[in-house]
Structure 1
Amino acid sequence: MSDWMVTQSPSRGRRPRALSPLREHLRDTFWFAPTAAMVCVFVVWAGAQLLDTALVEALREDRDFDTLDELLRFADDAKAVVNAVSSAMMTFIGVVFSISLVAVQMASGQFTPRVVRLFVRSRITKATFAVFLATFVLTLLVLTSFDSVDDPRAATSVPLVQSVLTLCMVALSLLLFVLYVNSTLRLMRISQVIARIATESFRVVASMPVPVPVEDDDPAGLGPEVAWVPHEGRAGVLRDVHIARLVRVARKHGVVLRLIPRIGDFVVPGMPVLAVHGGPVPPRRALRGAVSVGVERTYHQDLGFGLRQLADIALRALSSAINDPTTAVQALDRVVQVLAALSRRPLDAARHRDRAGAVRLVQPLPGWTELVDLGFSEVRGCATGSPQVCRRLLAGLDDLLLLAPPDRREPLLRHRELLRQAVDLTASAPADRAFALHPDRQGIG
């Protein structure tokens, strides 16, 4: 069986699960959650205002002016609180997030600039910012609802529900602030950053198509290549493709589409991105928006992006400016973990089928050798000056040799031999060479 992957729904007649990249793109932005929160709070305020008006009308019909007078006095007290919250909230937001931006800048300089994505994708960060802005907008809206009358019979609205809602939003803001500080401090710790990168990598692995037996299927039998579809639009990194849409288009026109660049490749206008096999070329409007290009790589559908970040962290830790071999060992722990999860999975390409079971989209994936080189090559080149990293690297290679099938051991053995040769050249004393080439999962322990 070749290293190809096939998607197949649990039921042959059931439509495959939609894989729209929209959710991932929204997670990579910081504007959507605050904007949605401010729109929602405006709707909630409008509903609360209607309830307050209905409450005043009910009290006036019952001629319960004593209760209405008490509500007016409560509104005066609440107005002072709402005024204080309104004036302090924007200052609070500015101070908190200014400090956070400094912390993010320090983390990107110490670890890798690509870890900024972890802060941007953090749900608690977006929720805190969204609730803070929503609370500020709500206080402004509630202030417009206060009447300046003393006679309860002349009152048209008493913002009772709105004031209670404001106090609830303030309480929620304080709770989220505590959670936000805790989350930010966790993300500033290198072990937590490395763990988050590994978690995102495993999500990509979990979203990969489930391999099924294809003994009667010819991996190369895609039909004759009819044409290429060039990239239109700006140049940038291929972030992801809309798999469900491409499968639908290919099924409708009776063709097989093959993605030419891999996810994470840099594409320029005019560069071929799709090859059409076995039929007429689909119209351009049907393929518009199916290929997403951005300024940087994302986790979505990018199998090697997590390993790239882990290798960058290890390289920076081994640089003479930082000289932190323990961080490099922690990064290697996760590199070995990711490669162990991929050691027996089919790689090289993913074949996506339609609901009838016909192959409609072929997507290239990095192969096993490429992933091993990505995780170990650059770290191995800088590890010879650190016995701790050499020992951990050897232990990781030995563990992967036990897990990988025989046909995937060659790149692991190659890296092991290259590391031994590099240590022989850099360590002059035989005792130092023997010490550096002793496998140890904790480096030096």
Structure 2
Amino acid sequence: MSQRPYRRPRPLSPLREHLRDTFWFAPTLALVLVCVVWGLIDAFDTALLESLQADRDFGTVRTLISWAEDAKVVVTTVSSAMMTFIGVVFSISLVAVQMAAGNFSPRIVRIFIRSRISKLTFSVFLSTFLLSLLVLTSYDSETDPRKVVSVPLFQGALTLLMVGLSLLLFIAYVTQTLQLMKVGPVVERVTKESFRVLHRMPAQDSAPAPAPLSAEVTFVPHHGRAGTLRDVHVARLVRTARRKDVVLRIIPRIGDFVVPGMQVVAVHGGREGLPARRVLQSSLSVGTERTFHQDLGFGLRQLSDIGLRALSPAVNDPTTAVQCIDRIVHFLAAAAHLPLGAVQHQDGDGVVRLVQDGPGWGDLVDLGFTELRGRAVGDPQVSRRLMASFDDLLRFVPDERREPLLRHRALLVQAVERWLPEATERAFALEADRQGIG
């Protein structure tokens, strides 16, 4: 069991991750901001016009009216064409998401949802459309420079700037969408997300062995909808446990499915009174699917799913499975020397206040290799890559972590020997090869 030092609470951290898993927040925020910016620029245009009229500089006013009328043609065209443009981009997104979900795994759809380029593109497109409508309302039918009350010169210039930005973002968006339709960039994106979770783990385990917990005083059941435990607000739970001088223990792991009435938090101690159940329950986020925020095994789950689908008879793409194994080995190699399993979170005084269970080394190895090993028996490209994976990992993992790798290696050898009757074929299928059949 490893000890992780308590870090200062970041109240917006869970909220930020949850908002990243939505697609509505960024466009909505952009629409609000464009209304604010339009209001400021409209006030600036009005102040400029009033200043010129007060100075009786009607020649400059006529020039501004002429420029604004020229820009009006472009703004009108943009307002009428932008929605069609948005529809085309949205259609591209739906096709790309459908193809990726069918070819790889339904769980990688969240890559498109969390994509910053996708959200930025839709936000700028919608903002450009709304801005063009707002600018059109600012045009004055009066052409007399002494009577005109509105000349949206800078508003029109901003609209043209937004159009140029939309075109650049459209190029970037199409480029990224095409990349995410290929297996290489997809598995790389999944691996990067997995490493972000892994990098939050403690770098080493130099702390002494933790003291055993006292007996449970009470259990807190889950209330609300059933779903997957997505993340835990660690800072809030540590503060709550410190105030009440208790130790809290999260019973389910991140990624477990919880139902109403299931025990989710155990309270140990309690000399200062028990924490409010409402606070404890609100600190556990339950959703419809797993996320990368605190889920160490979710990346391996996705990589395994993509590899399994590639090895199905309907797809029969062992090369994709080999690419997934490459990334699984990459992740396990990085985790090989890190402390895994249950983590104890401390408060500012170094007192353990929260215990949270997590996957151990054996759990990660089983998650990465079990299902792919079962499908690799009839495909020498995958079995050869798996043999190379086991051999590579066995060379540098600590001695206490060799057993799961040796077990999977032995099971693969036994399965291939039962499946292939010819000694020559068995030897070929069990030869270690980092490229599968290089």
- Residue 92 of structure 1 aligns with which residue? 85
Residue 248 (structure 2) pairs with residue 257 (structure 1) = yes
Give yes or no for contact 1:8–1:212 (8 Å, CA) kept in 2.
Answer: no
- Residue 215 of structure 1 aligns with which residue? 208
- Residue 386 of structure 1 aligns with which residue? 379
Find the aligned partners of 2:153 and 2:351 in 1 and give their Cα distance: 62
The Cα RMSD (Å) is: 1.2
The DSSP-based 3-state class of the residue aligned with 1:207 is coil
Residue 238 (structure 2) pairs with residue 241 (structure 1) = no
- Residue 6 of structure 1 aligns with which residue? 3
Find the aligned partners of 1:184 and 1:277 in 2 and give their Cα distance: 50
In the TM superposition, residue 16 of structure 1 has moved relative to its aligned partner by: 5.6
Percentage identity across aligned positions? Answer: 64
Match of 1:36 among 24, 29, 53: 29
Give yes or no for contact 2:318–2:381 (8 Å, CA) kept in 1.
Answer: yes
Write out per-residue CA displacement over residues 156-212 of structure 1, whole angstroms, 9 at most, x where no aligned residue.
Answer: 110011011101111111111111011111111100000000000000001224444
Aligned length: 436
What one-letter code is carried by the residue in structure 2 that aligns with 1:5? Answer: S
Assess, with a 3 A threshold, how the Cα gap between structure 1 residues 154 and 181 changes in structure 2: closer, same or farther.
Answer: same
Find the aligned partners of 2:437 and 2:339 in 1 and give their Cα distance: 35
The DSSP-based 3-state class of the residue aligned with 2:13 is coil
Residue 410 (structure 2) pairs with residue 417 (structure 1) = yes
Find the aligned partners of 2:204 and 2:264 in 1 and give their Cα distance: 24
- Residue 318 of structure 1 aligns with which residue? 311
Residue 192 (structure 2) pairs with residue 199 (structure 1) = yes
Residue 273 (structure 2) pairs with residue 276 (structure 1) = no
- Residue 393 of structure 2 aligns with which residue? 400
Query: What TM-score, normalized by structure 1, do the two folds share?
Result: 0.96
Residue 221 (structure 2) pairs with residue 227 (structure 1) = no
In the TM superposition, residue 347 of structure 1 has moved relative to its aligned partner by: 1.1
Q: Which ranges of structure 2 fall in alignment gaps of 5 or more residues?
A: none
Assess, with a 3 A threshold, how the Cα gap between structure 1 residues 19 and 370 changes in structure 2: closer, same or farther.
Answer: farther
What one-letter code is carried by the residue in structure 2 that aligns with 1:274? Answer: V
Give yes or no for contact 2:336–2:361 (8 Å, CA) kept in 1.
Answer: yes
Write out per-residue CA displacement over residues 205-260 of structure 1, whole angstroms, 9 at most, x where no aligned residue.
Answer: 01224444222632xx2222111111111000000010110111001110010000
The DSSP-based 3-state class of the residue aligned with 1:351 is strand
Find the aligned partners of 1:216 and 1:389 in 2 and give their Cα distance: 41
Give yes or no for contact 2:8–2:235 (8 Å, CA) kept in 1.
Answer: no
Match of 1:82 among 64, 71, 75: 75
Assess, with a 3 A threshold, how the Cα gap between structure 1 residues 420 and 212 changes in structure 2: closer, same or farther.
Answer: closer
Find the aligned partners of 2:89 and 2:3 in 1 and give their Cα distance: 48
What one-letter code is carried by the residue in structure 2 that aligns with 1:231? Answer: H
In the TM superposition, residue 17 of structure 1 has moved relative to its aligned partner by: 5.7
Find the aligned partners of 2:289 and 2:248 in 1 and give their Cα distance: 25
Query: What TM-score, normalized by structure 2, do the two folds share?
Result: 0.97
In the TM superposition, residue 25 of structure 1 has moved relative to its aligned partner by: 0.4
Give yes or no for contact 2:2–2:207 (8 Å, CA) kept in 1.
Answer: no
The DSSP-based 3-state class of the residue aligned with 2:146 is helix
In the TM superposition, residue 77 of structure 1 has moved relative to its aligned partner by: 1.3
Give yes or no for contact 2:9–2:236 (8 Å, CA) kept in 1.
Answer: no
What one-letter code is carried by the residue in structure 2 that aligns with 1:316? Answer: R
Q: Which ranges of structure 1 fall in alignment gaps of 5 or more residues?
A: none
